A and B are shown apart, each in its own frame.
Chain A
Amino acid sequence: MSELLKIMGLSKSFGRHPVFSDLSLKLDAGKVYGLLGLNGEGKTTLIRIMMGVIPACKGQIHYKDSEVFFRSAAYKEDVGYIPEDPFFFGGMRVGELLDFNAAFYRRWDSQRADELLKRFSLDRKTRVKTLSRGMKLRLSMAVALSARPPLLVLDDPTSGLDVPTRYDFLQGIIRELADSGTTVLFSTHLVHELERIVDHLFILHRGRIILDEEHQAVKDFTRRVRLAFPGDAPQTLGIEGLLTESRDGQRMEAIVYPWSEEKEKKIEGLSPLRMDVEPLTLEEIFRSFVAG
């Protein structure tokens, strides 16, 4: 698969407060990426740097093998950006807003813009400021998708929306994926949502990418182990990759990544009375990764 975007050694701090340092990741064309992180871990900052909204302190971003500079216009034409709180000129009408945006993009597809308005039941004559939060999100999607971007970046777009509206939104993204093979980076703290759509996961925690792995592999190799011992449980299981570990008298519980047969054998070597190994939901996995 071809590499679309690559971030190398990116660092950012606000004043003396570092957000992240030496951060690297890459996006391959045609995949859906999920960027997970607790509130305030720098997801939005990372995305805003990627989008050229704010400058980085250090590091490089490469898009299709050429370096992206802060405020580079050509790159922005290739990336659709749906921020958490999209800014619109409220006094404009929906149609005017689309025409206004069309002027910035050489690849703007006005036929597609009209299709999207119809699909999202948006009327060209409505004033933007009268739209609800859900309708504004649809509008920002229409704007982003009409420019036919090879890369779509979504910054927690569904927070604060009700479930049906979120579902609707995801469905729109999926249609887009299927139609154009768009690459998507989806940032959210609503993990449950990602479960249906992501190919690959990043977890941003305490200024580092602590997980960079295929979604299915993460699910296949994260396991919860519950143990009961005849006497007191050992102090620790003493294996690598313990995300969490807790003991209570004869019992012990741990979450392990990556899980392997070797580790299973090693735990069996401690001769527990009982050993249960179970998979976890993405939400539980995320919680255990950021627990430490």
Chain B
Amino acid sequence: MITIETSGFIPIYEQIKKAIKGEISLGVLKASQALPSIRDLAAELVVNPNTVARAYRELEHEGFICTRKGKASFVSENSISLIQRDRVRLSEDLFDRAIAEARKFGLDAAEIRRIVESRLKNQGKNAEGENR
């Protein structure tokens, strides 16, 4: 399920790309499975079909999906390995943003490192709690 946030600052085609990659990495969309048609997805999300087409085009260009002429788009066979690489890059982007924000509050590298460590420890504990 994709939700589009129009009040945010991430372009809609980026949101669609991210959501599809997310579904591939979660295994909701499997290799060689068909994606919804541009028309259907555009109507469902109430966004311009050109925007969905752009998201599909870029996903195809990046190798996550393949489109057969005049037919539907499919999740490509090597999408999973691409996503492994992508995940690291996306996480790095998120950390970059968090670090930039923290610096605005006047924190230095050592303090930021300490925060990351303590958050990791904290989440580790929570995860253990859930497993029990």
Residues in chain A within 8 A of chain B (CB atoms): 30-32, 167, 170-171, 174-175, 177-179, 192, 195-199, 216, 219, 274, 276, 278-279, 281
Contacts and interface: CB of A to CB of B under 8 A. Distances in A.
A178 B47 CA distance: 11
Size category of the B interface is 10 to 19
A174 B49 CA distance: 7
Contacts of B104: 274, 276
30 contacts: A32-B50, A170-B46, A174-B43, A174-B47, A174-B48, A175-B39, A177-B42, A177-B48, A178-B42, A178-B43, A178-B49, A179-B39, A192-B7, A195-B6, A196-B4, A196-B6, A196-B45, A196-B46, A196-B47, A196-B48, A197-B47, A198-B48, A199-B48, A216-B11, A219-B9, A219-B11, A274-B104, A281-B6, A281-B7, A281-B9
Nearest to B49: A178
A135 B9 CA distance: 34
B11 A171 contact: no
Nearest to A195: B6
Contact of A167 (B38, B42, B46, B48): B46
B38 to A, nearest CB: 6
Contacts of A171: 43, 46
B11 A178 contact: no
B58 to A, nearest CB: 13
Nearest to A32: B48
B55 interface: no
A171 B50 CA distance: 14
B91 to A, nearest CB: 22
B20 interface: no
Contacts of B12: 196
Contact of A174 (B7, B11, B42): B42
Interface in B49-105: 49-50, 104
A276 B43 CA distance: 37
Contacts of A196: 4, 6, 12, 45-48
A278 B100 CA distance: 13
Contacts of B6: 192, 195-196, 281
Contacts, number: 52
Contacts of B49: 174, 177-178
Contacts of A167: 46
B39 A199 contact: no
Contacts of B38: 178
A175 B11 CA distance: 21
Nearest to A284: B7
A39 to B, nearest CB: 23
A87 B43 CA distance: 28
A274 B49 CA distance: 41
Interface in B2-44: 4, 6-7, 9, 11-12, 38-39, 42-43
B39 to A, nearest CB: 4
A12 to B, nearest CB: 30
Contacts of B48: 32, 174, 177, 196-199
A189 B50 CA distance: 23
Contacts of A281: 6-7, 9
Most buried by A among B6, B7, B38: B6
Nearest to A170: B46
A170 B46 CA distance: 7
A197 B46 CA distance: 8
Contacts of A195: 6
A179 B7 CA distance: 28
Contacts of B42: 174, 177-178
A170 B12 CA distance: 16
A219 B14 CA distance: 14
Top 7 A-B residue pairs of the complex, sorted by shortest distance between their CB atoms? A178-B39, A178-B49, A195-B6, A279-B9, A197-B48, A196-B47, A175-B43
